Amino acid sequence: MDLSNPKYIWQKKSWPGLYWRSEELLSLLGKVRHKQGELVAIGKSLGFELSNQAQAEILVEETVKTSAIEGEVLNRDSVRSSVARRLGLPEAGMAPAGRHVEGLVEILLDATRNHHEPLTVQRLKGWQAALFPTGYSGFKKIRVGDWRDGPIDVVSGPVGRERIHFEAPPGEVVAEEMKRFLNEWKKSLGKEEGVLRAGVAHLWFVTVHPFEDGNGRIARAITDMALAQDEQQPLRLYSFSSQIMEERDDYYAVLEQTQKGTLDITAWLTWFLGCLLRSMDRSEALIQKVLTKARFWQRHSQTTLNDRQKKIVNRLLDAGEGEFQGGLTTRKYVAIAKTSRSTAVREINDLVEKQVLVRDPQSKGRSVRYELNWREFSG
C-alpha cells in the first residue's frame, strides 16, 4: 500500500483520527435535538396501537428506500407483509415476502429493537448474510457472511467507461480496520454526542467497505442503531433512508468529497445533520398517514370486506388523498387484486354501496375512476 501520496482518508497516517469543528455544528445540532424531542412526544401520545402502526409505516418506508438507494426496487406489498407479520399486525391481502426482503426487515428491526445489544463481528456478518440468502447479488456470486478478501471500488457509468469514485482499503487489512471500528463504537457510546456518533459511524463504515456487497444498507442500519441508542427507544417517527433517497446525488457527492479530503469531516457532519433534520421535518406526512388509516378502519370496523378489497383500500390509503395516480379504475383493480374483470366490477360496486369508494363524476364509460370516500373519515 503506497502511503507516500495518499488519495483517500484511509491512506493518511493519522487515520482513523477523524475530527470536526464543533462550533460549526452547534446550530444544526440544536435544531435536530429540538425536533427529536417533538417527535418523541408525539410518539408517546399515539398510544400502543397507533405506535405499532406508525412503526410499521416507518419500517416499510425505511426498507423500501434503503434498497432503492442501491438501485433495487422492492415490492412494497411484500415488504408490508413481512413488517406486519413481525409486528403482529393484520396481513390480509398482502403479497408474501421473499427471503431477501425478510432478511432486510430482520436487520432493520434487529438494529433498532436490539440497539442495546453489542455490535460484533458476528452480528455484522450475520446481517450481510441475511441480505444475500442465495449467495448471489443479482447474477453475481459473492462472498457472504464474511469480510471481503480482495480489492473493491465504488464505480459508476457503463461497462468499459466506468468512473472510479472511491477505492476501499485492501482486503488484507479489513479485519483489523473493523476491529478498530468496533472498538471505537463501544468506547464512544455514552461519551460522544449521540447524533454526531451516528454520522461518524456511517462514514467510517462505508469508508472501510468491509463486504463485497451490502455495505450501504448495513451502514444505514448502523446509523439507525446509533440513533436508537441515542434516543433510548426502538420507535422513530422518521425515515433517514427515505431522505437520503430524496438527496441521493448529494449524498454520494459529499461522501466522495469527504473520502478524498482531509480527516476534518465537518462538511460531512453538516450534511448529515441537515439530512437528518429534513427527514424529521417530513415525518408529519407519515404520521398523518397512520392517523388517517386508523380513522378509516375505525369508521369501517363493522364493514365486511374481503382480502382483495382490503388490499385495494390499503393501497389507496397508502397513496393518500388525491395521490393515487389516475384514480382507481376497473383495469387497475384487476391488476392489483389479480382477479377477473367481472369480479372487479362486482367488488367495486360493493365498495361504492358501502360508502368506502365514491365515483369521480367527471369520468365516464370504461374509464370511470373511483377514489376513497375521504370525507367520511378524514379531518
Domain assignment of residue 290, yes or no:
no
164 secondary structure, DSSP code: E
**Strand 370-372 relative to strand 357-359: parallel, antiparallel, unpaired?**
antiparallel
| C-alpha span between 229 and 117 (Å, rounded) | 10
Same domain, 306 and 281: no
Q: How is residue 219 written as a grid cell?
A: 451502514
C-alpha span between 335 and 337 (Å, rounded) = 6
Cβ atoms of residues 283 and 238 within 8 Å: yes
- C-alpha cell of 22? 464543533
Band the pLDDT of 63: cuts 50, 70, 90: very high
The reported pLDDT for the residue numbered 120 is: 98
Q: Is residue 293 part of a domain?
A: no
Query: Does pLDDT of 11 surpass 90?
Result: yes
Question: 280 and 306: one domain?
Answer: no
State pLDDT tens for residues 248-279. 999 999 999 999 999 999 999 999 999 999 99
Residue 61 lies in a domain: yes
- Residue 378 pLDDT class (50, 70, 90 cuts): low
CATH number for the domain that contains residue 344: 1.10.10.10
Whether residue 55 is found in the same domain as residue 145: yes
Contact 266, 21 (CB under 8 A): yes
Say if 4 falls within a structural domain: no
Alpha carbons 246 and 264: distance in angstroms, whole number: 26
User: Is 275 contained in some domain?
Assistant: yes
- pLDDT-derived band at 58 (thresholds 50, 70, 90) equals confident
- Total length of the chain: 379
209 and 174, same domain (yes or no): yes
306 and 260: one domain?
A: no
Q: Are residues 78 and 107 in the same domain?
A: yes
In a domain, 27, yes or no: yes
pLDDT in tens, 67-104: 999 989 998 888 988 998 888 877 645 566 688 899 99
192 and 121 within one domain:
yes
Residues 83 and 144 in one domain: yes
Predicted confidence (pLDDT) at residue 39 exceeds the cutoff of 90: no
User: Above 50 in pLDDT, residue 1?
Assistant: no
Q: Looking at residue 278, which CATH number applies to its domain?
A: 1.10.3290.10
Domain count, the chain: 2
Cα–Cα distance measured from residue 11 to residue 95, given in angstroms and rounded to the nearest whole number: 47
Domain that holds residue 227: 9-285
Looking at the whole model, is its pTM more than 0.75? Answer: yes
Say which range, 172-186, 208-222, 314-328, has the weakest mean pLDDT.
314-328
Residues 54/235, Cβ–Cβ less than 8 Å:
yes
Q: Is 80 left (phi over 0), alpha (psi -120 to 50) or beta?
A: alpha
